[in-house]
Structure 1
Amino acid sequence: MSSQAAAQSPGIRPAAQRPAPQDTPAQTAAANAAADAVSPVAAADARRASWVLAAASGQRVRRILLGLLLPVTGLVAIELSVRGGLIPANMLPAPSQILETLRDLGAQGLLGHIVASTLRVFAGFVAGALLAVLLGAAVGLSRHAEAILDPTFQALRAIPSLAWVPLLLLWLGIDEAPKIVLIAIGAFFPVYMGVASGIRGADRKLIEVARLYQLSNIALTRRVLLPAALPAILTGLRNGLSLAWMFMVAAELIAASKGLGYLLSDGRETSRADIVLAAIALLAILGKISDSLMAAIEKRSLAWRDSYA
C-alpha cells in the first residue's frame, strides 16, 4: 500500500497525527508513589541543612561571647574598683571616663589621628612584607642565598625597635620616611621567617613526585612549594602585621604631630592617664580588626587544608 493510500484510509493515521499514548492508572499511581517517596527525603535533607546552619551560627555566637567574656569582666571590675575607691582614678581611670575622653577627642580630630596611624602601618607593612617575601623565597629556594643572607638577617632581627630610631633620624630626618621605614623593619622579619621556613619545610616526597613528572622550576614553585609553604607564609604575615602596629608607636614617638603614638606621648607629657589608656584601647581595637581581616584571608586561602580546626 502506498503512503497516499494509507493517508486516505479511514482506519490508519499517520504517526504525526496519532495521539500520544496515555499513562495507565497503574503507571500514574506508581509515579505518584515515587514522588511521595522522594519528597520526604528532600524535606529531610532540607531540615538537616537548616540544622547544620543553625548549629554553625550558634557556635559562632558562642565564640564571640566567650571572646568578650574576659575583657568585659576586666572592664567591669576596674569600673567598680575605681568607683569604690580601691584604685586611684588619676592612676587608672574608670572605663566610663575613658569613653568620655574618647568622645572629647572625637570632637578634637581623633579620626585624623586614627587615619594617620593606619596609613603609616599600611605603607610600612606592605613595603616590609613585599621585601620579606622576595628575600625569604630566595633564601628558601637557594642554599647559596641562605648562606649569604640568613646570618645577617638573624643578627639584625635581634636589634630592638628603639635602637633604630636614632639612626633613622640621622639618615632620613623627621618626616614620614623614617616612620614608614621603621614600621617596615618591624614587619619584615616575621614575614621573612615565615616564607623561608615554609619553603624549607615543604614535604620532600611532594618535591620528588614533582621531579618525576618533570615539572619546571617555575611550575614546581607554583604548584608544590607555594601551597606547601602557604600556612607558614600567612602566619608570618599575621605576626608581621601585629609587629607593624607595635613599631608604629615607636615610629610616631620620633617627631610626629598626629597619630595614636602622638596621643600616647601627649598624654604622658600632660599626665593624662585617660588619654594614654584611650590611645591604648584604640590600638587594641585597630590591631584586632586588622588581625581578624588577615585571619579571614588565611581561612579562605587554606580552605583546602584538612586540619584539626
Structure 2
Amino acid sequence: MVETSVAGHPAGERRRIDFKELGSALAPFALPIVLLIAWEIAASTGLVNARLMPAPTKIAAAFWRLLLDGSLLHHTLASTQRAFIGLVIGGGLGFVAGVLNGLWKPAETFLDSTLQMLRNIPHLALIPLVILWFGIDEGAKIFLVATGVFFPIYINTFHGVRTIDPQLVEMASVYGLDRKALIQRIILPGALPSILVGLRYALGFMWLTLIVAETISATSGIGFMTMNAREFFQTDVVLLGIIIYALLGKFADMATRAIERRVLVWHSAYQTPDGAKR
C-alpha cells in the first residue's frame, strides 16, 4: 500500500517538495555562511590580523557580553527611535509634497524646481550648518535623517501620481467620482507601487544617514557605541555595530516587502503566474 499525504500525494513526492522548499528558503543564506566560515578560518590561522579583523566567534562573544549588560539593547533602541522619528517626519513631508505637486500643476511650478535644486545638495554636507542650527542634541540627528528620506519618497510619490493611466481617471469621472473619491480610489492606489519603492530607497538612506548623524557628540545609539569602542580599539564591538546596522536595514526592508505583498495583492506584479500571492 502506497503511503500518501493528507492531500493525497505520495509521501515521497511530499518529501521532495518539502526539501525543495527548504532549499529555496536556505539558498539566500548559503553565501553569508560560507563567508563567515572562511572569515573564521582566516582569523584563526593568522591569514588576517585578528586584532584588526576579529573572528566571527569573537564578535558573537562581544554581542553576548553587551546583550547581558543591557547596553546593546539600550543603544539599538535609541538608534531605532531616531531613525523612525526622522522617517515619519521626512517621509510624511515627502509624501505630501509628492501628492500635491503631482495633482496640482501650480504647486509643481512653484515648488518642484526648488526641491530639485535642494535634492542635489548632499544632505550630509549640511552637518556643520545643522550643528549651528540645532546644536548637538537630538534635533540635529532627526533633521538629518528626515532630510535623507524626504527626497526618495517625494520623487517616487510624484512619479507614481503622474503616471496614473489617464483613461482610468477619465473612466472614474464618467462614473461620477468626485475629486476626493478619485484620489482615494484611483490615484493613490495606482501610485502605491511607486510610493513603496520610494520607501525602500528611503530606508537605506535612513540608516546611512543615522550612522553619520550618531557621530555628532551622541551619548547613545549604535553609532555612539562603535565610536566609543574605536577609542579603546575594540574592533569586535565596532564590527558588531556595523552588523547590527545591516540587520536593522534588512529587517526594515523585509517589513516593507511584506507590506507590499499585503496591500498590493491586486497588482499583477505581486502575483505568481497562477494568480497566487507572492
Judged with a 3 Å threshold, the aligned counterparts in structure 2 of structure 1 residues 111 and 306 are, in CA distance, closer, same or farther, namely same
* Residue 61 (structure 1) shift: 3.4
Amino acid at match of 2:65: D
Amino acid at match of 1:127: I
Amino acid at match of 2:175: Y
Judged with a 3 Å threshold, the aligned counterparts in structure 2 of structure 1 residues 185 and 57 are, in CA distance, closer, same or farther, namely farther
* Residues 81 and 87 in structure 1, CA contact (< 8 A), matched pair in contact too: yes
Amino acid at match of 1:145: A
Q: Give secondary structure in 1 for the equivalent of 2:172.
A: helix
Unaligned runs of 5+ in 2: 273-278
CA distance in 1, matches of 2:102, 2:86: 23
* Residues 92-121 of structure 1: CA deviation (Å, up to 9, x unaligned): 111111111112222341110011001111
Amino acid at match of 2:180: I
CA distance in 1, matches of 2:227, 2:233: 10
TM-score between the two structures when normalised by the length of structure 2? 0.88
List aligned pairs for 1:74-113, cutoff 5 A: 74-108=35-69, 109-113=71-75
CA distance in 1, matches of 2:259, 2:103: 25
List aligned pairs for 1:154-193, cutoff 5 A: 154-193=116-155
List aligned pairs for 1:7-18, cutoff 5 A: none
* Residues 162-220 of structure 1: CA deviation (Å, up to 9, x unaligned): 21211111111111111111111111111111110000111122112122223211111
* Residues 123 and 148 in structure 2, CA contact (< 8 A), matched pair in contact too: yes
List aligned pairs for 1:108-257, cutoff 5 A: 108=69, 109-257=71-219
Amino acid at match of 1:228: G
| Worse overlay, 72-81 or 209-218 | 209-218
Amino acid at match of 2:78: A
CA distance in 2, matches of 1:241, 1:296: 14
* Residues 212 and 223 in structure 2, CA contact (< 8 A), matched pair in contact too: yes
* Residue 58 (structure 1) shift: 6.0
* Residue 267 (structure 1) shift: 2.8
TM-score between the two structures when normalised by the length of structure 1? 0.79
1:294 aligns with 2:247: no
Which structure would you say has the larger Rg? 1
* Residues 260-289 of structure 1: CA deviation (Å, up to 9, x unaligned): 111222233333321211100111111111
Name the residue aligned to 2:276.
none
CA distance in 2, matches of 1:299, 1:59: 23
| Worse overlay, 141-150 or 205-214 | 205-214
* Residues 161 and 250 in structure 1, CA contact (< 8 A), matched pair in contact too: no
Amino acid at match of 2:177: L
List aligned pairs for 1:10-89, cutoff 5 A: 46-47=7-8, 61-89=22-50
Which of 249, 261, 285 lines up with 2:247 in the alignment?
Answer: 285
Judged with a 3 Å threshold, the aligned counterparts in structure 2 of structure 1 residues 105 and 234 are, in CA distance, closer, same or farther, namely same
Name the residue aligned to 1:3.
none
CA distance in 1, matches of 2:164, 2:43: 54
Q: CA RMSD in A?
A: 2.6
Judged with a 3 Å threshold, the aligned counterparts in structure 2 of structure 1 residues 59 and 161 are, in CA distance, closer, same or farther, namely farther
* Residues 124 and 144 in structure 2, CA contact (< 8 A), matched pair in contact too: no
Judged with a 3 Å threshold, the aligned counterparts in structure 2 of structure 1 residues 54 and 137 are, in CA distance, closer, same or farther, namely farther
* Residue 243 (structure 1) shift: 1.4
Which of 233, 243, 248 lines up with 1:271 in the alignment?
Answer: 233
- The number of aligned residues is 266
CA distance in 1, matches of 2:8, 2:127: 61
Name the residue aligned to 1:306.
268
* Residues 67 and 73 in structure 2, CA contact (< 8 A), matched pair in contact too: yes
Unaligned runs of 5+ in 1: 1-43
1:261 aligns with 2:223: yes
* Residue 75 (structure 1) shift: 0.9
| Worse overlay, 277-286 or 258-267 | 258-267
* Residues 78 and 221 in structure 2, CA contact (< 8 A), matched pair in contact too: yes
